[in-house]
Structure formats: structure tokens, C-alpha cells
Amino acid sequence: MGRSVSYPSGALVAYQGLAIDDEDDWEFALEWLRDDLIAQARRAFPSLEPHEGWRGREDRILLRNGYADFGLSIYGGLAAVWIVERDDSSYHEAELRRPLHALAQHWLGSVAGRFDELFGAYVCLGHMSNGEGVYRKRH
């Protein structure tokens, strides 16, 4: 059975292709992509701060603010760049003192257009019955 690139449930997702011809260049290309995404996201969304972590086993958190995680997931030659409401224990503890969900959703809505513009090179058209995604390059 096939599958598509992972991303956290509920995330805003943008897709980018990875053209890595030589296996020896894989680590360098991923490091370059991570650094580039971090630089672009911090310029566009200054409240995001460096954060190293994971959401599950495949979704790597690169940046975080009080409301959201920004990260990267890779599968094959496709990268999913995503931003999603935080789902960690310190966020949930803070939400007990002050409701954050509505604020987080408002902030994510306010950055959605810019996020897609910056990071979306491909559009996901849908998924086949075996789980594989179908993508089209953005015009």
C-alpha cells in the first residue's frame, strides 16, 4: 500500500518538491531546506522562535510561538511544510489558566494566506484509494 507525506492533523500544509539526485547529498539538502524554511518563516512570522521537537514520529517541529508549531515532514521527494495549533502539555496547562484555542485559531487564520504564498510550490489534488497523494505544481 502506498502513502503520502505526513503532517499533523488540523495543520495548514504547503508542499515542496525535493530534487536530490545523489544519495550523498541527502543530509546536506535537508539541512539547507530546514535552514531556509526557518529563515523564511521567522522573517514572515517574527513571533516564531526556534524549537526542536517532534509531533509523532514523522513531523519535525522547527519553530514555535505561544499558539502554533511550524514544522517539516518528508516522504520520498516531497516535503510538507506545516503550521498547526500547539498540542503539548505546557500549552494545555496554559490553556487551563487562559483560553488559547480561539486565539490560536485566529492567529493561524491571519497567517494562512502568507504561509501558503511562501511555502506552497505544489497543490494536493487528492488521494487515491491506496493512500498515495496526487500533486500539481502551482502556476
Average pLDDT, the chain: 90
- Asked if the model's pLDDT at residue 3 lies above 70, the reply is no
- Asked if the model's pLDDT at residue 1 lies above 60, the reply is no
Q: Model's pTM, two decimal places?
A: 0.90
Please state the rounded mean pLDDT for residues 3-32. 84
Structural domain spans, the chain: 12-137
34-67 residue pLDDT tens: 999 999 999 999 999 999 999 999 999 999 999 9
82-105 residue pLDDT tens: 999 999 999 999 988 989 999 999
What span, in angstroms and rounded, lies between the C-alpha atoms of 50 and 117? 22
What span, in angstroms and rounded, lies between the C-alpha atoms of 136 and 61? 26
CA nearest 80: which of 68, 91, 71, 89?
71
Higher pLDDT, 120 or 132: 120
**pLDDT-based confidence at residue 122 (cuts at 50, 70, 90):** confident
Category of 10 on φ-ψ map: left (φ > 0), alpha (ψ -120 to 50) or beta: left
